[in-house]
Amino acid sequence: MKDASLARATPLNSVMEGLGTWQPECVTVTRVIAVAVTYQPDLVLFRQAVRACRHQVTKFFVIDNGSTEQCLNALAKLCEDEACSLAPLGHNYGIAAAQNHGILLARRAGASHVLLLDQDSVAAPDMVARLLDVLNTTLRAGRRVAAVGPRLVDRRSGKGTPFIRIGLFGVSRLVCSEKTDNAFESDFLVASGSIIPLNAFDEIGMMEEGLFIDNVDLEWCFRSRHHGFVLLGACNAVLEHSVGDQVFHVAGRSLYRHSPLRQYYIMRNRILLYRRPYSPRAWIVQDFLRMLVKVVLFGVVYSPRIKNLRMMWRGILDGLHGRQGPFSE
């Protein structure tokens, strides 16, 4: 097992030690290192995800967030077969802490950029090259880039996910056509599949560990925009991805059903984000309305109704009280 001695997540302050200042010019030597976070992964799918991306990056770190010993042993064998480095944390510290740990390892390994991945995300063979092309073109234009993300295609439906711009009177959904090289400026990128120049973390900061799992990428995107960085969605870079446990279609829109525990984190963290000074006011108003709709749908219409209601209500209360970290009874 490679790097198996890494037994716990590195605190945020330790991750930030020794970071320099932002450098907007293009990096002459590009060294992309992938960081994939796992927790009880589907090993067949994860092997597919690793193989799809391994040849596109310099090094591949797998940060395991407390999987069982049996699963961890299988992961170790997979990483040995696929030339990855496994870093088991020994406990579930949450997605943000695991990502921060991987980013630190990538920096120590000499990365210029980090590619964040979920355990079920499968990249197109040229995804990284296309993301870098958009990134470097924008840097040459003198703009500060926080991240570039691919067009996400849902594994179940085969439909692409639009990029998002938040406006005063609603959300604009920027839809990629099948054959386009467009790059859209976006207000939000899903972390999985995104390439981030390591120097961007110096000014924006790392992922917020207190959120634990949901809306971690949303918070970081809001923070990056607040610092004057741009987020770019590359239409010609593709990542196969899954969201939620199940997809419902209501009035022509897709809704993703999550477990009651995830409903807790989603509700708690959106309340926490409402209170952040850098969260867009327009988003807060629009998301509050979406929250009310989801409370009705998942608390009245879709089962398990009582568990959903109880966990969503607990999340709202904990968010109002500013509680962070993992859920506790």
pLDDT in tens, 78-101: 999 999 999 999 999 999 999 999
Per-domain boundaries in the chain: 12-241, 246-320
For residue range 105-127, list pLDDT tens digits in order: 999 999 999 999 999 999 999 99
The encoded tokens of residue 270 equal 């959106």
The DSSP result for 148-212, as a single string, is EEEEEEETTT-PBPPEEEEETTEEEEEPPPSS---EEEESB--STT-EEETTHHHHH----GGGT
Measured CA to CA, the distance from residue 141 to residue 25 in angstroms comes to 9
pLDDT of residue 81: 97
Is the CATH number 3.30.70.3270 carried by domain 12-241?
Answer: no
User: pTM for the complete prediction?
Assistant: 0.87
Angle between helices 95-108 and 216-226 (to 10 degrees): 60
pLDDT of residue 222: 98
